[in-house]
Amino acid sequence: MSETNPYQAGRHFLQIPGPSNVPDRILRAMAQPTIDHRGPQFAELTLGILEKLSRVFNSSSPIFIYPASGTGGWESALLNTLSPGDKVLAFETGHFATLWKNVADKLKLEVEWVEGDWRSGIDTAVVSERLSADKKHQIKAVMAVHTETSSGATTNIAAIRAAIDATNHPALFMVDAVSSLACSEFQHDDWGVDVTISASQKGLMLPPGLCFNAVSAKALEYAKTSEFGHSYWSWTAMLELNKRGYFPYTPATNLLYGLDEALTMLHSEGMNQVIKRHARLAHATRTAVEGWGLENLCLNADEYSNSTTAVLMPEGHDADKLRNIILERFNMSLGMGLGKVKGKVFRIGHIGDFNDLMMAGTLSGVEMGLNLTNVPYNKGGVNDALEYLAKP
């Protein structure tokens, strides 16, 4: 290490809302020698992954895996099902909803954009209102972010599906579950989602590099009439080859090794327990925030996220200054405020391979940082969280 970047003892605390910590078991799995992606051993690996992945999405639908980030998953969903000029309904719940909307704009889709305050999920009444007004069914898809990483607000996806059904509208229902999959309950089939988009670097505990599309039969029918020109993102090319355990291109073999191990770990713990663990650690975080006298960016308690908490700074105090002090003194990274809330919030990730003692260390680092930067707060938020965590 250089003198300007000296060695810091202990492990770095990566408490951003993703990428999340990668467990050693997954790192070791990824270090295996690469195998022939056209051979029988690889086909067995792929088929096993798809079976285990279906129990995370809670879906019997095809799930396509691409070497890409979640942004690629957004683009794949839009390109495969829609055509240039189609109208989509989208909601400004935060930074990532806005980025997905920007992808749709660049693809020359017509976006009916419902503005928001970045502090809440999607209002089902607005969904009903917009779809009921669309008498000619010009809206071809509804785009919803399940958990908005920038705000920590989670939308009730089942309620959105119910609102769509109540209007008898034929629009596809597309859901970004990048920050919610394997952290919060998610039911692709039971909630009537047509395309679920997710990625590897959050609840699935992997490095960035894989994205997913879980695709309903209705979405596959839409894909037959899409007029977008594309090749790499083609579901059709994936569908038949995946059934035999292969891909239409060279896959990210070593990331798939890691994904296989991650899925084994999740199912060994039990998906219900994984979700309960995330909910418990999220509650401990909010307990500390409340104890400090600080404000959660997410306004509605029933929309709080299991994976991230965005904390508003008191007026006149810079969240990035706090984050930098915590990084320098305690070797811990917190999530920055994005877009409209840059400098106004810091985000605590409680996501992936994470336990009570890691939570305690994270909250202690935040409280020490608040003290060092002279941010007005009430001492003892950490103690409140520890009392909650220590309950049987």
Provide the CATH topology of domain 13-20+271-389: Aspartate Aminotransferase, domain 1 (3.90.1150)
CA dist 152 and 127 (Å) reads 21
What pLDDT does 59 receive?
A: 98
Omega of the bond leading into 19 within 30 degrees of 0 (cis): yes
Sites in the chain below the pLDDT cut of 70? 1-4
272: Cβ contacts below 8 Å, ≥ 6 apart: none
What pLDDT does 6 receive?
A: 81
What pLDDT does 1 receive?
A: 46
How do 195-199 and 211-215 pair as beta strands?
antiparallel
268: Cβ contacts below 8 Å, ≥ 6 apart: none
Domain limits of the chain? 13-20+271-389, 24-267
Question: Could you read off the pLDDT of 254-312 as tens digits, one per residue?
Answer: 999 999 999 999 999 999 999 999 999 999 999 999 999 999 999 999 999 999 999 99
Asked whether this chain's domains 13-20+271-389 and 24-267 adopt the same fold, the reply is: no
Beta bridge partners of 304: 153
CATH number of this structure's domain 24-267: 3.40.640.10
Task: Provide the percentage of residues in the chain whose pLDDT is more than 70.
Answer: 99
What pLDDT does 12 receive?
A: 93
What pLDDT does 3 receive?
A: 58
What pLDDT does 7 receive?
A: 83
